[in-house]
């Protein structure tokens, strides 16, 4: 048996969008089950996201601390953002987010991992990039607002982030998936050089080159 996710789409007898916000919405589908019965599934529709695990020469990860109202926490995270434009190249979006949130650029980019954040209730797909050979961007910083205006930046050793994730001290999805994936990738055959190129296909969110 091949251990690999495969595309499949069960018929939808009826669909509705009871709510649509600025970036995301809620969809209700009446899905036809294999036995011919139907079941209602409510889920969040999401444009998709990118995140960046930026690693410096001292093996430190660039992190930021930001207030997240739904969970009433300030969370340590890695730079991330929405795919605002349908079909947008995810690498370009990741480079933009790294610049806007951290005023940093990177010379070496790889795909670290692709995930669905909560496939039982949301169609959000996230591509997490590994960015290396990082440096500060010259010129004025991007103007931030709202929660981002209170954002803190830091650089934390990868080993400390792995420890914090396993100890239950860190909770952001992209940060935890990113740091644990990087830690695991270093122990695989080929190491980080075996990671996919930054322009690798992404069936969950097809894009133009």
Enumerate the active-site residues. 148
Q: Which sign, positive or negative, has the C-alpha torsion 23, 175, 197, 133?
A: positive
- Measured CA distances, 79 to 7, 123, 170 (Å): 29, 21, 15
Residues forming beta bridges with residue 114, ordered by sequence position: 127
SS3 assignment, position 16: strand
For 129, how many CA atoms within 13 A lie in the half-sphere containing its CB?
31
Residue 14, C-beta contacts closer than 8 angstroms, at least 6 positions apart? 29, 30
∠ at Cα 51 (110, 147), nearest 5°?
A: 155
Beta sheet of 73-77, edge-to-edge order:
73-77, 60-68, 152-157
Q: Using the 8-state DSSP alphabet, how is residue 87 labeled?
A: T
């Amino acid at each position: 048996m091949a251990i690999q996710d495969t595309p499949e789409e069960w018929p939808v007898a009826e669909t509705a969008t009871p709510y649509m916000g600025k970036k995301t919405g809620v969809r209700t589908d009446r899905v036809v089950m294999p036995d011919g019965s139907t079941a209602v599934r409510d889920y969040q529709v999401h444009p998709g996201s990118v995140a960046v695990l930026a690693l410096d020469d001292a093996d430190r990860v660039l992190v930021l601390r930001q207030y997240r109202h739904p969970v009433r926490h300030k969370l340590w995270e890695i730079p991330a953002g929405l795919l605002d434009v349908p079909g947008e190249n995810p690498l370009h979006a990741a480079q933009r987010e790294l610049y806007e949130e951290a005023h940093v650029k990177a010379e070496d980019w790889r795909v670290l991992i692709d995930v669905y954040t909560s496939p039982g209730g949301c169609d959000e797909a996230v591509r997490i990039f590994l960015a290396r050979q990082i440096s500060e961007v010259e010129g004025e910083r991007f103007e931030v607002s709202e929660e981002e205006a209170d954002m803190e930046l830091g650089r934390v050793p990868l080993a400390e982030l792995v420890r914090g994730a396993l100890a239950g001290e860190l909770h952001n999805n992209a940060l935890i998936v990113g740091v644990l994936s990087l830690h695991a990738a270093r122990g695989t055959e080929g190491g980080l050089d075996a990671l996919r190129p930054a322009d690798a296909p992404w069936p969950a969110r097809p894009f133009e080159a």
